[in-house]
Structure formats: structure tokens, C-alpha cells
Structure 1
Amino acid sequence: MADHDRAHGTSEQRLSTREAADRLGVKPETVYAYVSRGQLTSRRIPGGRGSTFDAKEVDALARRSGRREPSGAGGEWAMGTGITLIEGDRCYFRGVEATELAAAYRYEEVAEWLWTGDLRRGTHFTAPQDALSAARRAAASLPEHSGPMDRLRVAVIAAAAADPLRFDLSEDAVLDTARSLIPTLVEALPPHGPEPSGAQTLAERLWPRLTAAPGDAASLRVLDAALVLLIDHDLAASTLAVRTAASAHAHPYAVVSAGFGAMDGPLHGAASGLAHRMLLEVLERGSAAAVVADHLRAGRRMPGLGHPLYSGEDPRARALFALLEDVPQARSALQAARGVVGTAARHTALHANVDLALAVLTVSAGMPAEAGETVFAVARTAGWIAHALEEYAERPLRMRLRGQYNGPRPPQPLP
């Protein structure tokens, strides 16, 4: 292949599909999956069949992939991914700034693009009736006090049970599952009020399951943007759990269940609920200073402030705050959030994160405190599927770490 290139006056080394696959340690069909996702470029062989690939581009992808598990800054374990880059206090999805995507496209359009590289206006996900019926029955069988996350967890298991093809891990099958699972999760949640007739976007279908208040165009725009901005965020705890499950070739429903399990805690998915309750307290007491003082006196972390991946304001929060300016009923919650940020800034250099912006939406729309976690879970499902697709193309079970034993040295007496 290299001799052919030199004969045509170029020093660029081209690889056949088989050579590229061998260098990447994947199957030939996975090479074309990388092409469809924009991670590799191919060139047709003049007058022949098949494609060739730039050797330097293939080697760069091999270095970025997790096969070599490069070390990150500070020596921590790192994994290659082509989905999200956080750099210079900005967040990019496949090289495109997340805030620009949220301003231009709807959630379903961005999800489809994230999975396939194709951006199609008007993309619409539909829940299959069998899966939806099973999910609704399972969610309805829970105790009355069960929250939306409880219902989402059982809904994904019920939808899996209704899908006899769930173990097909081919890319097309996984994409079909993703397109049906996300609307199934949304529509398995009981509505707080009547669903608007002709609801098309996922945000329009999700809104009445979060609040009984009617969703005006500006509020729905904020919710749709939030879904886009929360679609992925590097290798968060839930995403790492998802990739571990996918590494063991768990089916997509089980992969999403792993993500739900990892986000069930105050430090990840539920963080917006803590910010929601804090804003309600500020509005009730009429003073951000008093609420911040109470948190500091009790030694509690201020919810909605700070993020380890950003030195300044979370760009996702900044984008949502700008959209919330167009929602009249959000004015008091926005003022409360700014009061918290301004007061806390006197004591610590922490900036607003996306949980605080999401809390402004949930408070202003009369949603329960758990609504932010629901939005997070639905949004992140698309990102988890994108990571699962990456992981299915990798060497199976590569996530198997080796423990550093620090217990008693053998031999020990029989207890």
C-alpha cells in the first residue's frame, strides 16, 4: 500500500480496511462504524473495491482509544473516547460546542447525531406499544410514595423483558433500542396534568410528567436545551458504570440500568434536588445570605456551586440562565440563584453549575425537587448509549482492573 502511494508522488501511507482493523485491534466492520461516527475518514480505491485509511489518522485513533489505557494528569487512569471533550472551561460533543448544539437543535436531533453522525431535522422517537405497556404496568405497581426515578428504574427493566431481541448488540439493533427506550421511559411516567395535544418533541412529552403547570414555549425551550446540555459530560460515575457493563456485553437496557444505579445518590444525579430545596428556602426566607450562612455554619457543601472540571462558571449553567431570562415566572428563582452565587463568592471562589440552573427551572415551574434528577436521567440515557456503542467496539472485558490487596498477609489462622 505504501509503495502504491510513493508511485503516485505522495508520502502519505494508506492502509487497507484489514490493516486498519489490525492496527486498531477491532473487527473490519468496526472500522466502518468509526467512519460513520466521524472518527475516521476513508478513501475509495480508484478503479477497485474497498477503502483505504490514513495510517497517521488510524494511529491517532488507536492512541485515543482505551486499548492502551493512557494515564491522565496526575497519574489517574484514563480512557479514550470520541464523545465529549471538556477543555478551556468549555464542553464539546464530538468537537462541537454543546451550548451551540443546544441553541440550534432539539434533544432527539442531537441524540441521533451523537450516535450516527447524521443530523436530521425533525427526528422523532416513538415508544413501541408492547414495551410501553409493560413499562407503565411495572411503574404503576410501585407503592404510591415511589418517586420518578423508582419508576424509571423499573420501566427500563420491564421494557427489556418485553424485547426478545435485546441481546442483539449489532449497531443497528442498539440504535433501534435507543430510539424506542428513551420515549418509553418518558411516557411510562404518570402525567401531572393533561398532555398537550399534538405533543411531538421529547421535551413536550416530558413536561406534563414533571409538573401540572402548562408549558409555554419559552419554558419548553429551556427544558429541551437542558436535555441537550445534560446528554453527556465525559466519564462521570454513571458513565463509567455504563461502560463497565457494556464491556461485559450487557444489552443496552442493562447498560442504562447500570447508569441509573450509579446516579442514585446526592453527589451525582440528585444534586439538582438539593439545589432546588435550597432555592425554595431562599425564597421562603427572603435572604440568600441567611441560607448560605446556615450551610457554612453546618459545614455543608453548597449545592449548585462549583464543578471540578471548570475553573469558572459551568458553560451549561450560563446557557440555561440566558434562556431562563425569557421565562417571566422564573424571575424570582433566578434572583435567588444569583443571590446565592453572590453571597458565596465572598467566602469561596465557586461558580454556578448546571444543577443550580436546572433548579431555577424546576422551582419556577412548580416541579417537585426530584424533577431535576428525572431530566438528568432521561437526557443522559442518550449519552450512555453513545458510550455503550463505543465500548461494544472495544476488546471485551477490558475494564477488568486488578485490586491492590491491603488486607492481612497470609497465612492467617482459620477463623
Structure 2
Amino acid sequence: MPRTSRKIAPPAARDEAPSQAAGTLVDARTAIERLGIKMQTLYAYVSRGWIRAVPAVGGKGNLYYVEDLEALGARGRGRSTAGASGERMIRWGGNAVMQTSITAIGPDGPRYRGKPAADLVRSHRSFEECTELLWNGVLPDAAVVWQPARPGAGFQALAEGITQVASRNHSRRLLSVAVEAYAASLGRNPELTLGAPTLAARQLTQAMAAATGLLAARPTYVLNDAPQSIAAVLADKLDIRPTSSHLRILDAALILSADNELAPATFAARIAASAGADLFSCVTTALGAFEGMLTGLGCEQAEAALAQSRTADAYLDHLKGMLARKSPVPGYGHPLYPDGDPRATLLLELAREINPMPMRGKIALKCVERAHEELGLKANLPMALAVLCAVLAAPAGTPGALMSVGRAAGWVAHALEQRLAGFLVRPRARYIGPS
């Protein structure tokens, strides 16, 4: 096979397999010679996500990224030191890439297993159907009904204890301790106790949805006895009228929140899974990292800014002050969506259709519209969730809770995929301190 080396052009769309990054590509023979390995070993490195491969022009074999070969040790993988080997176990930041078949990001938003999230929303799919797609790779033909979660002995005492501290904590911490309480009631190996990872994931999600009752004026953490959709559970716990339009928009919020590729919290879930953690621990690990401006904290700050502004003029003055100080403006912009977050656009469209709408919701929508028209700011998903919760008259803290419950579906999917990958996500540190 002749050696080839070429440059690939910048990608036209980010969700196409060959267009993840631009760089130098070489053929298989060149790759194995540079690494000093066998062809079977090259294939093993590709399957583990250590080397990216793209189809060659004409479909004859694959080409491999030189930067990945260099990261593994181009002078001979078999002769590389333990430090060099460990350093490539996961090379994160910069241009490092972890392979996944779960979610791709494009200008139209996330695609779950190749299916646009927006299409799932527009076709009135339920959140449960979306989770089955993420976890199992198949979109169900019929409606999905989950059996109620059944905690173990002592759960009620733990739940009552959590209600005592609910008013002093934010939603991510409350959901985290609620999940751990559910897992603790099942014993040392909750996933094994429940019998299968998917069953554990369903009960975990139901436990999180029920825990949103901790945000109410009178905090509660009570699991439902009868089968209910996650959207119905949320409506019940958050005191939202369970009309068809309200349940549909709650499903939409959960689906659009479900995954956004390898965000920090999702990466944290994969690290935990690679170390052997059960799904409950993977999700609570992710919740601990769900603190960024584009995730949980962003939801809270966007919600607070809307709540503090009695009029759209007051809100604009607040934003102008932040821009003048060159402070981050919560609820606007996203580096993955420079032309605007399509998830937010769709959710805001659905929010405008809610009728009747409380004055709080009307003001919130006006605030976001004028921020775009007069300041050129583009709402992201946390802002859209904050507006939605104003439209639904939900309790404070609900936007971050909705995003967390929805994103748990993605965290579970990535944890399961990492288990199948079969390698430890363990970067090495390069010491640069005094000798």
C-alpha cells in the first residue's frame, strides 16, 4: 500500500465523522511503521478511541491522524515508557478527542444516535422514549411506561432528613443527596440489587424527578406508587398544572437537555464509570461537576436576573451594566452554537404557545426578546429553561433541576458506553515544579 499524506479541509458540519478536526492524515502502513506495532494493535487503538480514523478518498481503507500517533509515541509504542503510555490514556483539552456514538453536535443542535433532538420534540416524543434511544440505541415504536421506583428499607427516614435541609441548598446538591439516599436504601450494590443497568437507570431517574419536590414551599421527597411519566411526576412535584401542553413542554425541556456531547459533567460521569462506579455514583459525580455558566449555575443566575427585574427596561439596564463591566452575562451565548442555541430557540417557541400565561412569564419572554433585539444577545438553553419556568410559574430553582433530570439520561448513556470501551480514563500529570 503506497504511503499517502494529505491535509483535510475545515469541516462543513461538525457532526460528520471525518470532520471532527483538521490535521495531517497517513495510511495504515505508515501508522504502524511510525508506532512500531502490528496492524491488529492499530485496530485495537482505534477501537479504544486512542487513534481517530477517517475513510480514505475512494473508500479504500482508512487514514489516521498523525497527532494521535505522536501522542501515543511515534518512536515505538512497544518501547514507550509507562509515563508516555499513561499520558495518552486520555489526552483532554486542546485537540484531544474521545470517540462516542451517542451524540453529535451540529448547527441544528444535538443529534441523539443520529436523530435530531429537535425532531424528537416536534414529533411529540416523550422523555422516556428519548432515554431508551440514548441508552439502547433504539427509538421505541410504542409509548414507554416505566414501573414505579421501589426503594429499600430506611429510605423514608433518609428522605425526611433531606427535607430538613432543602431550603438551604441548591437543586444540584439536593438531587445528588436524594439519589444517594435512594441508592443507600438498596444496599452496597444498588445496581446489582435492581437486576440490570437499565432498570437501575429508570429508577434513578424517577428518584431524581420525585426529588424536585424539595424545591416546593413545603419541601417533600416522596416517590409515586403508580406508574407515571417523568413529565407528570415533575408537574406533580413542582405544582404545575398537568395539562397536555404543560406536559409536552416539560418533555421538550428534558429531551433538549438530555445530552450535549462531552460537557464537563458528562466527562466526569465517564471518568467515574471507567473506574468501576455504579450508575448512581456516576450521576452524583456528574451533579457535582454541573456548576458551570452553561449548566446548573447558569440556570440559577439567568433565573435570578429575570426574577429581580420587574420590567423589561429594568432587565436591559441590568444587562447593560454587566456588559459595561465586561462581566459574563448569564443565559446568553454558547461556544458550540455561535449563531444561536437552537435548543433555546425551539423551547422559547413552545413557551410562547402556553395559554393562559402568568404575567411573570410574559415579562420573562419580553426580557429575552428585547435582549436579542437591542443588545444582540442570543439566549442559550439555561435562559430558555428560566423563561419556561417563569411561564409555568414553577418554584425557584426549577430550571437547574429540569436540566439536571434531563441531562441524567445522557450521563447514564455515556457511563454505559464507557463501560463497553473497557479502559480507565486516567490522564497523567507532567510535573513542572521545583526538583
- TM-score, normalised by the number of residues in structure 1: 0.74
Q: 1:406 to 1:242 in 2, by over 3 A?
A: same
State how 1:84-233 maps to structure 2 within 5 Å.
84-103=103-122, 104-120=124-140, 121-125=142-146, 126-130=148-152, 133=156, 136-142=159-165, 144-164=167-187, 166=189, 173-190=196-213, 192=216, 200-210=228-238, 212-233=239-260
State how far apart, in whole Å, the 2-side matches of 1:220 and 1:92 are.
22
Superposed CA offset, 1:122-161 (max 9, x none): 2123211428646624523436433433321111112222
- 3-state DSSP of counterpart to 2:152: helix
State how far apart, in whole Å, the 1-side matches of 2:349 and 2:227 are.
25
Whether contact under 8 Å (1:23, 1:58) holds in the other structure is no
Aligned to 1:322: 349
**RMSD of equivalent CA atoms:** 3.9
State how 1:7-406 maps to structure 2 within 5 Å.
23-24=43-44, 75-103=94-122, 104-120=124-140, 121-125=142-146, 126-130=148-152, 133=156, 136-142=159-165, 144-164=167-187, 166=189, 173-190=196-213, 192=216, 200-210=228-238, 212-284=239-311, 286-328=313-355, 329=357, 330-345=361-376, 350-397=377-424, 399-406=425-432
Q: 1:119 to 1:88 in 2, by over 3 A?
A: closer
Q: 1:318 to 1:242 in 2, by over 3 A?
A: same
| Amino acid corresponding to residue 344 of structure 1 in structure 2 | L
Q: 1:169 to 1:117 in 2, by over 3 A?
A: farther
Q: 1:339 to 1:239 in 2, by over 3 A?
A: same
Whether contact under 8 Å (1:134, 1:159) holds in the other structure is no
Q: 148-157 vs 304-313, which deviates more?
A: 148-157
Question: Any unmatched runs of 5+ in structure 1?
Answer: 1-18, 31-55, 411-415
Superposed CA offset, 1:42-86 (max 9, x none): xxxxxxxxxxxxxx99989xxxx9x98799999522100111101
Whether contact under 8 Å (2:294, 2:382) holds in the other structure is no
How far off is 1:246 after superposition? 0.6
How far off is 1:314 after superposition? 0.8
Whether contact under 8 Å (2:128, 2:229) holds in the other structure is yes
Whether contact under 8 Å (2:212, 2:401) holds in the other structure is no
State how far apart, in whole Å, the 2-side matches of 1:129 and 1:75 are.
43
State how far apart, in whole Å, the 1-side matches of 2:199 and 2:157 are.
18
Superposed CA offset, 1:310-348 (max 9, x none): 121211111111111211314332122111122221xxx
Q: 1:400 to 1:59 in 2, by over 3 A?
A: farther
Question: Any unmatched runs of 5+ in structure 2?
Answer: 1-38, 49-58, 73-87
How far off is 1:265 after superposition? 4.7
**Corresponding pairs, count:** 356
Q: 192-201 vs 119-128, which deviates more?
A: 192-201
How far off is 1:280 after superposition? 2.6
Whether contact under 8 Å (1:321, 1:357) holds in the other structure is yes
Q: 305-314 vs 120-129, which deviates more?
A: 120-129
State how far apart, in whole Å, the 2-side matches of 1:404 and 1:74 are.
14
Q: 139-148 vs 257-266, which deviates more?
A: 139-148
- 3-state DSSP of counterpart to 2:111: strand
Whether contact under 8 Å (1:273, 1:370) holds in the other structure is yes
State how far apart, in whole Å, the 2-side matches of 1:324 and 1:57 are.
50
Superposed CA offset, 1:191-242 (max 9, x none): 74899998832111112323x3534332322111010010000000100100
Superposed CA offset, 1:241-262 (max 9, x none): 0001111011111101110100
- 3-state DSSP of counterpart to 1:162: helix
- 3-state DSSP of counterpart to 1:92: strand
Q: 253-262 vs 355-364, which deviates more?
A: 355-364
